[in-house]
Chain A
Amino acid sequence: MDVSNHTILSRKKEKAAKALLWTAVLLTLAILLGIILYIMVRGFVSRQEKSYFVSPFLEETLKSEETGEYAMKIIVHRQVKISDLTMEDLRTIYTKSRAENWGHYSMQDKRITALAPSRNTPLGKAAETLIAGPEGGFGSYVAYLEDDEEMIRRIAEDPAGIGIIEADTPVTNRKVKVVPVRRIVVAVHPSVKEIIDNRQLSVITEKELKLVLSGDITDWKDLGGHDRPIRLIRPPEAWGLDELVSPSDIPAADSPEDFFRMITDLPDSLGLCFYDDAAAGGLSILEVSRREVKGNLTLSFLLEPPARSGKWGGISTIILNTLFLILFTLLFAAPAGVLAAIYLVEYAKQGPLVSLLRRGTETLAGVPSIIFGLFGNIFFVNTLGLGIGFISSTLTVTMMILPTIIRTSEEALKAVPLSYREGSLALGASKLQTTFKVVLPAAVPGILTGLILALGRVVGETAVLLYTLGSNYELVRGPSSSARVLSLHLYFLFSEAISFDRAFATGAILVFIILLVNYSTTRLIGRAGRMSG
């Protein structure tokens, strides 16, 4: 069959158009999915590269030359969200004069209950020497207990408890866990940290350290340092660190003194020793970084109230504040907006006044929210003297979303066929009955969509709330109490650089709330719409 040139051309055009469309669709999808996925991933897991003085090697059993045969381990209540502690942390916890807060270590806002074995026991003496160091003693808030059994029992009862028991004592209580301690440092000869070409080697990664200790990296250049071989030194047997260092053909220290001497005398040397000894010997230390992957958006993040501006704790009160704000603004704005729309569509004489009103609401619906913030701050907060707080912000946000609600409700009402109104009026129904029994129910899906749109604006609003709601992160207690909602909290976490992880976790929750709201309205609209076929 003959196909005319024109047909071929239009086929080609069709194909090209299709290809273009598909590219556009795929691009949009990719961007959308990319953004959501990124927020979700960052919201749910925190991945950080953190460098420490101490290396990532964990020790459950702690002992030293001074403590002799008394080895010990550290236990905490299971709810304390730490996987290990550095020797430095441990020292701070036990030597502070006032109770330290877990927030610094696990971001849980609770005062630490530090327990130690009685100073009369050999274990108690050994623990104090080991943990507080040769000079200092334990802080005055540390409580002392007689034996390990009591220690375990007390810690099981106290969700903020930390204690010290003998290394051999088994821990069978499921509420108590043993926390490994990191106290091994990488000591190097000072020459290693010399600045060359404006660069200084001061941090290596966990992976690099392992390769050095296994003998796979042998030159400082591979770690970003000088082009000289690494002189690995075997720590003295007494420290029990030999198995961490694999190569056998390396210089070995006979005693701790020997080790310190070798590290300080031999250029390009590297060896493992304990934090205390390194500090006492004034050794140069290479920091080690490790990648820490943790759950970010956890259940406790949702359930705990925030502390220290949101640095610690969770966002429970903030979620509740957000729900309150939504609830109250809708309580004010929904009836007012829908009634106004009913008046405009059903009752008002369609003249220049109404069209002016309509133009006005349209303009207001598009006005940037910061202008409403300005208005709310000047009018509600200052002129009316309501002050920064829940009521001012609720009223301002109501003003902000009212135009949107009026506009969408108007459209929904206008979309109701005239024939419904005629049918009802012809049956002898009054205008009021017709409006509320026939027209309004038929417009419900559209009105709901508008309310959801408005709700989305409330959830995402920051500018208005900044000037009317304040920044208190506690639960709202009354109309004039200052508060924080999710978007505002996110703003503060971000702008005050409190925590990006927490900002993302909060963001993920915001996205979830929007998803949930959208989903439930779709269901609601579906149910309302089912009667209309």
Chain B
Amino acid sequence: MEEQPSKFRIKDLDLFYGDNQALKDVTLEVRSHRVTALIGPSGCGKSTFIRTLNRMNDLIDHVRITGDVLYEGVNIYADYDVIELRKRIGMVFQKPNPFPMSIYENIAYGPKIHGITSKSLLDDLVENSLKAAALWEEVSDRLHKPALGLSGGQQQRLCIARVLAVEPDVVLMDEPTSALDPISTSRIEELIFELKKKYTIIIVTHNMQQAGRVSDTTAFFLNGVVVEYGDTEKIFFNPEDSRTEAYISGRFG
């Protein structure tokens, strides 16, 4: 496991919302083809951090970022085209957010804006993405029905399929199951397990069991600082920092 090359290298990252510092001195390495979980109490900066990786924070006014975020050795804030970056680094949000279009159109949207027009190519992409997101069986006969007619869990898998259709390299997931019931949650966890073979996954979760089940590496955030970072097993069973132990054992957060 140690030999896995690093996908992201984050060095001395500070992020300010106006005068309010949300990330302090974050230094991390994210390994390729692994699932990295980000845990920590509410408001500690997990979402803020994960959104720096595909530059979603650019959308917010008054955000100031210092430090380096290197993706495959390239500084994404200096030397990377943001559209190209987001193509490579997909994102799944906390609340399923399918577009108000048909299931098919939702999946085909990404490839289409990236210039794919061939109908048969799109058809294939839609089918493969839905299969990869374990949704094909359920929706293959209603591809042209509105996506908003799906259940919450199906919608979230659709959003994953939508990301996969762009053929990304990394998939960021910000609490992808927090709005779902236990059965939908476990289906998504299984899916993450599958996806890990092809993609690098970074997932934010409030659910300790989930972090334990799906991730290889875990980072514990507290007040914008990475308190502890390492193999999930070690963080969960043998944490070095007392604050990590306190959080994991449920004393705060």
- Contact check, A532 vs B93: say whether CB atoms are below 8 A apart: no
CA distance A430 to B58 in the complex (A): 13
CA distance A419 to B93 in the complex (A): 8
CA distance A533 to B85 in the complex (A): 32
CA distance A419 to B96 in the complex (A): 9
| Minimum distance in angstroms from B105 CB to a CB of chain A | 8
Total number of residue pairs linking A and B with CB closer than 8 Å = 77
- Contact check, A533 vs B149: say whether CB atoms are below 8 A apart: yes
Which of A393-425 touch B at CB < 8 Å? 417, 419-425
A426 in the interface, Cβ–Cβ < 8 Å? yes
- Contact check, A428 vs B93: say whether CB atoms are below 8 A apart: no
- Contact check, B163 vs A427: say whether CB atoms are below 8 A apart: yes
A427-B162, A531-B148 are contacts. A422–B93 as well, Cβ < 8 Å? Answer: yes
B79 in the interface, Cβ–Cβ < 8 Å? no
- Contact check, A427 vs B86: say whether CB atoms are below 8 A apart: yes
Contacts of B99 in A (CB 8 A): 420, 423-424, 438, 442
CA distance A427 to B146 in the complex (A): 20
CA distance A452 to B100 in the complex (A): 23
Contact of B148 among A422, A423, A430, A532 (CB under 8 A): A532
| Minimum distance in angstroms from A416 CB to a CB of chain B | 9
Residue of A with least CB distance to B83: A428
CA distance A441 to B100 in the complex (A): 8
Contacts of A477 in B (CB 8 A): none
CA distance A355 to B83 in the complex (A): 31
A420-B99, A437-B109 are contacts. A426–B148 as well, Cβ < 8 Å? Answer: no
Which of B45-84 touch A at CB < 8 Å? 54, 56, 59, 61, 83-84
Residue of B with least CB distance to A426: B91
A433 in the interface, Cβ–Cβ < 8 Å? yes
Contacts of A428 in B (CB 8 A): 83-87, 110, 113-114, 166
- Contact check, A530 vs B93: say whether CB atoms are below 8 A apart: no
- Contact check, A427 vs B56: say whether CB atoms are below 8 A apart: no
| Minimum distance in angstroms from B173 CB to a CB of chain A | 11
A422-B93, A428-B110 are contacts. A531–B87 as well, Cβ < 8 Å? Answer: no
- Contact check, A532 vs B56: say whether CB atoms are below 8 A apart: no
B101 in the interface, Cβ–Cβ < 8 Å? yes
Contact of A423 among B87, B114, B159 (CB under 8 A): B159
B184 in the interface, Cβ–Cβ < 8 Å? no
Mark contacts of A333-376 with chain B using CB atoms, 8 A cut-off: 1 yes-contact digit, 0 otherwise. Answer: 00000000000000001000000000000000000000000000
Contacts of A429 in B (CB 8 A): 83, 109-110, 113
- Contact check, B86 vs A425: say whether CB atoms are below 8 A apart: yes
- Contact check, A531 vs B101: say whether CB atoms are below 8 A apart: yes
B97 in the interface, Cβ–Cβ < 8 Å? yes
Closest 7 CB pairs of A and B: A532-B100, A533-B148, A419-B97, A428-B87, A428-B86, A426-B91, A427-B110
Interface residues of A (CB under 8 A from B): 349, 417, 419-430, 433, 437-438, 441-442, 530-533
Q: List 7 A-B contacts (CB under 8 A).
A: A422-B59, A426-B54, A428-B86, A441-B101, A442-B100, A530-B146, A533-B146
Interface residues of B (CB under 8 A from A): 54, 56, 59, 61, 83-87, 90-91, 93, 95, 97-102, 109-110, 113-114, 146, 148-149, 159, 162-163, 166
